Structure 1
Amino acid sequence: MTEPLVKLLLIDDDLVFRLGLRTWLEQFPDLQVIGEAETEATVLQILAASPATLIILNLDLGRAVSTWTSRDQEAGLQLCQLLKRQYPQIPILLLSASPLPEAIAAARQSGAEGYCAKGTRATELLTAIRQVATGQSYWSANAPATIAPSTQVGAALPVSDRPLAVSQRHPLLALWQKQRLSGLQQIDAALAAITAQLRQPGLPVLDRAVLAGRWRELRAARWVVNQLLAPPEPDPETLRDRSSTLSDISRWEESGWEESAWEESDRRISVSEPSLRISTGSELVASVPITSPELAGRPLQSRLFDRTVSKLQSPLQNLTNTPLEIDILREEKKRELLYIILRKLEETLDELRFAQVQPAQLLEKQPAVIRDLWVATTTDFFGKYYTLQLGAMNLEVVKVLLQDTPTVESEILNKTPLSWDLFTYLLFQIPLVVDNVPYAAHTPEAIERAECLLQNLLLQVANAVIQPLLNHFADVEVIKQTFYDRRLISTREIERFRNSLSWKYRLERYVGEPKAIFESQYELLVLDSRGIAKTSIYSPRNQELRELAGLQLAVTLVLETRDAIAPRFRSAIAFLGSGFVYVLTEVLGRGIGLIGRGILQGIGSAWQDTKIGKNGERPKQ
């Protein structure tokens, strides 16, 4: 009898641990990982698209990016409570490397069905997953003090029978620690918000300076809080608990996971491949063979996609000075279109991995890959068989839109910059060159550049989807009611919008593009918390510069001439201006001053003369 398929959602901000856990789970035919996430927004979107049978949640969320204390588990607990409120029917299995008793108790009270330490044996973890997925509960015997060890799977003591936690035995120390963690949490939240604002492209210089000052003040305040409210030394019982946790971790490392859990994987994976250690906090838990760049690239791709999905929750207002085709869409339609492109891009990457396309082959196929992505998105967004009745004719919308493929390719798709670099980065982890310096795939610089390239690709493909619609069905009432923003539904506004787009492409072709080539730059469309912004990145474009001709070449010559003449001309103007100012102030100014002084003295003398009288005698008192 075939066992029912268990669909798993992994929630953990440790990318390496997620990779190891997912690779280990793939050997079991009854278990399927439908998604990975590290943020609340990504979790909710995955569950909305594909409900899971079981959620595996790391209670230590936030430790990878936080410098509070290794035992703070508030983020994981809050997410657990949120999921149980919105999806009470989906069981949750908790994992933790250093569980806090109060957090485990609160998670259990909120409805979590199971808990296992990250040092649990692989066989026990597998049992817990299958048991919790069937609606039963499983609380590991290694759970902290607030949960009594159970001799039978799923058994637990009532809350009143549990031993007192350390914080209950020492209320003053618990209050001290709570105040410290609360203050650090508020400071860290403010620091994270300011850091996110500082990363926004196009931020004014004054705002950046103010935010940088606030960031330094918060860092100083954090140091003061750490010094004044330093945590007390742990008591012997805490040390014993920590030793027990370390022994559990060592036991997992020495037993089932490495020897049995990966046994099947090792048959498929060459032992000569390098291995990567999975870390849970400060300890090493398991040895995960990294088979190939394709396997290692999936967590990196998931991370980039998760960050992009999070930004898609923000407003999608156009903050650039140029119109975009998607400006005509309603906000929810923009978001829907970008989600579709992201999903189709993920499918495209999976197909390329399955076909084992090499980087050199990908360079040749790149235009076709981008074109297929556009075709698939257009078909999915409008519907393959979507038909409009115009007069006596029934027109299939997608078929009509795809007739503009050559125009869309030449105007938008083929001009999407560095798309090959993005694909090779996601598929093969080839280093990205940032400001003429290559950065490894997992470095912050490479991740930030890849995120910009990914968002630019999404927005350019979205513009390419809407451009044929504006050419063929711009003023059709059904289209306007279904897709358009209410501010752009009148015929006059639509025609004005189309004319603005036409002028944008003319100026871009003859002025903007040669200027960008001459300045060795690409302009990218990116997403930030305020909307769609534009940013520039450096990239050598010497070959394109040599191929310029006609008006485009003339633009570069004008720019070069201006660069050659402008500094000298400005210097000459500044010199003449300073001379003119000298003449006005030192010569004419002094002369006018002397004349004015004489006039004032004459007026004063005349005033005195009126008092003395015509005969020169003073008036009588």
Structure 2
Amino acid sequence: MSLINGNQDEISIVLLDNDPIFALGLKEVLKTEEYQDINIIATGKTSELKTLLSQYQPNLWLVSLDVNKYPDKVKQFLNYLPQLNQQDISIVLLLSSGFMPEVSNIAIIKGFCYKDADIDELVKTLRICAKGENYFNFSNANIQPKKINNWLSKQCQIGLREIAQEIKNIDNYIQGRKLSLADILYWQGRKRELKLAKWLISQMMPNNSSYTVNNYLNSNPSQESENQENNPDSQLVKIGYSSGGIVLSDVPNNTYDLTLAKIQASLKNSTGYLLEIDILQESKKQELLIILIEEWKNQLNELANLNIESEELSEKVDIFVKDVWQNSAIKFLSRYYKPSPNNSYDLVDLTLKEANLIQEKILIQIPFILDIIDYQIHQKPLIIDSQVYQYDSDSGKNLEEIIWQNIIINLSLSVMTFILNRFYDDVIIKNNLFKMELKSSRKVAMFRNNLVWKYRKEKYWRNPTNIFDDRFSMFKLSYEGIENFMITHPRHEELNTIKGIPWLVTILIELRDSLSKGIKSLENTIGKALIYVLTDIIGKGIGLIGKGILQGIGKRIKN
């Protein structure tokens, strides 16, 4: 709600309109000298009428009802008005073209005027109603939408077609070229501007539908929602995974936008563990993660369009994750890898061959992939540690964010594992991707050796410990960087399958747990025994000896 200074000598008006752009335009028009007696002292939405009644006592309440844009709100408002018939207020309605409400049972409505009418007609209606008279202005009430829309509608349609073509050209340009992260962000910003312009034109474009009060009050519009439910693409839009390119919302309101915002904020490693992407420049980390997110989104759309049931998803998960990994690896490396006499790999063939090994060794260990795909496509609840997290609930969104970000980060680590194994000595790769202080052959070798020690520690200690504790170590993004997070969930099946040194580690942990209480009890018993010996036996003995010495000294002194 916005406030404007008023004057008691003028016609004070509170304007209620759900369209802030129209309200702003009307206020500006009424500021001219010929309309100085009209003073809008406050503005708000139709839903705020009850609240504003206790705050203001204007001469008139000017209420704009656009049944074309806000049918539900108009219906709710008209049903509420009869409850105010006993109050001393005067309401003037500003109606959309073709809408004729039944107001005979609403005494507080003193008049109405159509938005298509000239501004002088509106001011005339306000001045008459402010004197306490009723005035219903039917100017432009019977104008057919086709006459109103004739020129403006054509211009809007031409503009929309040009914007759609420009967006398509940008998509083709991005897909057909190897662009830097800065270029990608620039073109996506350009797409956001075009989409905003498209939305504004759509709002200004005249609606070709006309309404009557009987059809409107008896209607229950649900066809659009039914069409969305039957359209698989519309369900993807609900969760923020549209079929377009990388588009970051100005106000992140879903997991997709929120993750992109955090990626652009910081990717500092705050886990306490060495990560494969630590060798990358900050901008290259962002680029890799954005490619993975986009590829995940594309593969998710393709999977959704197949209309696969939840029971059949498990058969597609391995292929889905491998496709995301190999397509992302090829897209990322193709921007920087150039064959040379010393390193003449065929990038596509090498990546496809490596994909199977990466999947068997790394990707298969990433938890909850099937759960998150089922959640995002079929909107099934997440069940973690016997707790149910419903789709689109606050707890469900938080858990989805953690699980999905952990998958994306682990995919990025596996891409870097491939690069460090196959291209660690490629000069072009090192110069373009690695940090300045880590691109020498010695530093790269040290980094790879440190990773080997990390893998051993994870394999022989950290992973068996997590399995035995029924928990998963997850990576999550924050605005400060990458953090570590623990999720508890039963892992009995994994516990029964581990062998060798990891199995021995679990036995040692169990042995430690079983003996710890007995050892503590033994420590307490031994401690009490030592205290008794030192105080009651040795201490008293030393005391008696000292007493005897003192007595001997006393007798000597007397003699």
TM-score by length of 1: 0.53
Partner SS for 1:395: coil
In structure 2, distance between residues paired with 1:340 and 1:162: 60
2:27 aligns to what? 146
Distance in 2, Cα, partners of 1:380 & 1:601 = 97
> Deviation digits for residues 368-422 of structure 1, max 9, x if unmatched?
100000111111111179423143x533445434432233112221111000101
**Which residue is 1:330 aligned to?**
281
Alignment of structure 1 residues 362-401 onto 2, 5 Å: 362-383=313-334, 386-391=337-342, 394-401=344-351
Corresponding residue number in structure 1 for 2:57:
236
Q: Deviations for 1:570-601, whole angstroms, at most 9, x for unmatched residues?
A: 23223323543565577767888999999999
Equivalent position SS for 2:357: helix
Structure 2 gaps, min length 5: 5-14, 44-50, 76-95, 99-205, 210-219, 242-253
| Contact map agreement 2:17 2:65 (CA 8 A) in 1 | no
Written as runs of structure 1 = structure 2, the 5 A alignment for 1:251-266 is 253=74
Instruction: Report the equivalent of 2:450.
Output: 500
Q: For the residues of structure 1 that align with 2:273 and 2:512, how far apart are their CA atoms?
A: 25
In structure 2, the residue matched to 1:549 is 499
Partner in structure 2 of residue 539 of structure 1:
489
Match for residue 429 of structure 1 among 366, 379, 382: 379
1:358 aligns with 2:291: no
Q: Which moved more, 1:427-436 or 1:403-412?
A: 403-412
Equivalents in 2 of 1:602, 1:234: separation in Å?
Answer: 101
Given candidates 256, 272, 291, the residue that maps to 2:229 is: 291
Q: Cα deviation per residue 1:193-223 (whole Å; 9 max; x = unaligned)?
A: xxxxxxxxxxxxxxxxxxxxxxxxxxxxxxx
1:449 aligns with 2:270: no
Once residues 599 and 356 of structure 1 are traced to their aligned partners in structure 2, the CA distance between those partners, rounded to angstroms, is: 100
1:576 partnered with 2:451? no
- Report the alpha carbon displacement of residue 553 of structure 1 after superposing the two structures with TM: 2.6
Partner amino acid, structure 2, of 1:407 = L
User: What is the aligned partner in structure 1 of residue 291 from structure 2?
Assistant: 340
> Do the aligned partners of 1:387 and 1:396 also contact (CA within 8 Å) in 2?
no
Matched AA of 1:299: K
Q: Distance in 2 between matches of 1:598 and 1:402?
A: 93
Kept after mapping to 2: 8 A contact 1:385/1:396: no
Residues 147 and 468 from structure 1, CA distance in 2 versus in 1: closer, same or farther, beyond 3 angstroms? same
Separation of aligned partners in 2, 1:498 and 1:256: 71
Q: Which amino acid in the other structure matches residue 28 of structure 2?
A: I
Q: 1:382 to 1:519 in 2, by over 3 A?
A: same
Amino acid at match of 2:451: L
Rate the CA distance shift 1:599–1:249 in 2: closer, same or farther, 3 A: farther
The one-letter code matched in structure 1 to 2:293 is L
Q: Structure 1: how far apart are the matches of 2:334 and 2:286?
A: 17
Kindly state the Cα deviation for residue 292 of structure 1 after the two structures are TM-superposed.
4.9
Q: Helix, strand or coil: the match of 1:364?
A: coil
Cα-Cα RMSD: 4.5
Aligned to 2:418: 468
Distance 1:239 1:583 in 2: 97
What does residue 467 of structure 2 align with? 517
Letter of the 2:57 partner, please give it: P
Q: What's the counterpart of residue 166 of structure 1?
A: 41
Does the 8 Å CA contact 1:146/1:162 hold for their aligned counterparts? Answer: no
Q: Taking structure 1 as reference, are residues 251 and 499 closer, same or farther at Cα in structure 2, changes over 3 Å only? A: closer
- Within 2, Cα distance between the matches of 1:578 and 1:233? 76
1:30-109 matches, within 5 Å, as: 71=1, 100=2
User: C-alpha displacement at 1:498, in angstroms?
Assistant: 0.8
SS of residue paired to 2:414: helix
Closer, same or farther: CA 594–501 of 1 in aligned 2, 3 Å: farther
Aligned pair partner of 2:255 in 284, 304, 307: 304
Letter of the structure 2 residue corresponding to residue 379 of structure 1:
I
- For the residues of structure 1 that align with 2:222 and 2:547, how far apart are their CA atoms? 89
- Determine helix, strand or coil for the equivalent of 1:235: coil
Take 1:251 and 1:465, find their aligned partners in 2: how far apart are those partners? 50
User: What are the superposed Cα offsets for residues 70-89 of structure 1, whole Å, 9 maximum, x if unpaired?
Assistant: x3xxxxxxxxxxxxxxxxxx
Secondary structure of 2:487's match?
Answer: strand
* Alignment partners' CA distance in 2, 1:543 and 1:315: 37
Q: In 1, distance between residues paired with 2:513 and 2:262?
A: 39
Cα distance change on mapping 1:555 and 1:249 into 2, 3 Å: same
Quote how far apart the aligned CAs of 1:351 are.
1.0
Q: 1:561 — aligned with what?
A: 511
Is 1:410–2:360 an aligned residue pair? Answer: yes
Assess, with a 3 A threshold, how the Cα gap between structure 1 residues 563 and 487 changes in structure 2: closer, same or farther: same
Q: Separation in 2 of the partners of 1:488 and 1:159?
A: 73
Shift of 1:305: 0.3
Aligned with residue 476 of structure 2, among 526, 548, 558: 526
Cα distance in structure 2, aligned partners of 1:275 and 1:560 = 63
Amino acid across the alignment from 1:313: Q
CA contact (8 A) 1:319 1:532 kept: yes
Q: Which runs of 5+ in 1 are unaligned?
A: 1-70, 72-99, 103-115, 121-137, 150-155, 169-229, 264-273, 278-285, 610-621
Q: Letter of the aligned partner of 1:577 in structure 2? A: G
Q: CA deviation at 1:239?
A: 9.1
* Cα offset, 1:288, TM superposition: 7.4
Contact persistence 1:441–1:447 (CA under 8 A): yes
- C-alpha separation between the residues in 1 aligned to 2:531 and 2:339? 71
Displacement of 1:249 in angstroms is: 5.0
Give the SS at the match of 2:475.
Answer: strand
Contact kept, 8 Å, 1:385 with 1:398, in 2: the verdict is: no
> Shift of residue 546 of structure 1?
2.3
Amino acid at match of 1:375: Q
The CA distance in 2 between the partners of 1:232 and 1:585, in whole Å, is: 85
**Counterpart residue type for residue 239 of structure 2:** L
* The one of 300, 309, 316 aligned to 1:349: 300
**How many residue pairs are counted as aligned between the two chains?**
388
Change in Cα spacing, 1:350 to 1:423, as seen in structure 2 (3 Å) is: same
